Structure 1
Amino acid sequence: MDVLTTILVTIHVVSAAAIVGGWFAHFRNPTVTASQWIGSIGMILTGIALFGVAMATWEDPNHMKLGIKFLIGVIVFVAALLGRRRLNRGEAVPTGLAHAVGGLGLVNMLIALLWH
């Protein structure tokens, strides 16, 4: 289980880095990149899998923390989806929507790191 957990955590961190990195890369001209969209999918899926592994190994995960992280992850996913749909239609992505994807991705990372 340790190998599986390590692989899932690695994919989870890389997905979060794609979200925040895409935000920093396009901070002056905000948009939602494909890496942010894929990262939001990866972050949610690996987060759910990590929760399942924690429950299967009889650990006692912090349900409040994980629930808040999941809610923020869903918001990031929906915002990235809306931004990508607008780009696919040839429309501009609203600045607030683009910053919501990256900013909430960063908030999610900070919750993971600082909430013990």
Structure 2
Amino acid sequence: MDTLRQILLFVHILGFAALIGGLLAQAKDPFKRVNGAMRDGAGTAFLAGLGLVGVLEAGDGDVNHVKVGVKLLIGLIILILVMANLRKERIPQGLWVGLLALSVINVAVAVFWSPVHS
């Protein structure tokens, strides 16, 4: 089970890397759009996160349901915004900034809302 958890965590991180990379790749572009890296990254991170929670729930570890709920909500908002704007030729600058902020916040929740192990 631990191997599956590590694989899902790795895929989850890669999904966020693709999402944030897809956003940052167009930082200097005057017109932003939803690209394939953003689409695939958002979907991968979301599905791997769901799988990860399932594995954690099936195991004997403690699951912080509030943290999972916050990450699920943020991830779902990102996924909906990405998919809703996938076919648009361009997206507003504010939406691009919002997607970047939500993505970074979701990673920050994962990193900083963790138990401290001594």
Answer whether TM exceeds 0.5 for this pair. yes
CA contact (8 A) 2:23 2:100 kept: yes
CA contact (8 A) 1:83 1:97 kept: no
Q: CA deviation at 1:33?
A: 1.3
Match of 1:110 among 108, 111, 116: 108
- 2-11 or 68-77, which moves further after superposition? 2-11
TM score, norm. by length of structure 1: 0.90
CA RMSD of aligned residues (A): 1.2
- 78-87 or 2-11, which moves further after superposition? 78-87
Corresponding residue SS for 1:86: coil
For structure 2, the residue ranges without an aligned partner over 5 or more in a row are none
Deviations 1:45-89 (A, max 9, x none): 1111110101100322111111000000001101111221213xx
Match of 1:39 among 32, 38, 41: 41
CA distance in 1: counterparts of 2:53 and 2:37, whole angstroms: 24
Match of 1:55 among 54, 57, 65: 57
CA contact (8 A) 2:33 2:88 kept: no
AA at the equivalent of 1:65 = K
Moved over 6 A (4+): none
Instruction: Indicate the residue corresponding to 1:16 in structure 2.
Output: 16
TM score, norm. by length of structure 2: 0.88
CA distance in 1: counterparts of 2:97 and 2:42, whole angstroms: 14
Residue-pair matches, total: 112
Percent identity over paired residues? 33
CA distance in 2: counterparts of 1:76 and 1:4, whole angstroms: 25
CA contact (8 A) 1:76 1:100 kept: no
Could you say which structure has the higher helix fraction? 1
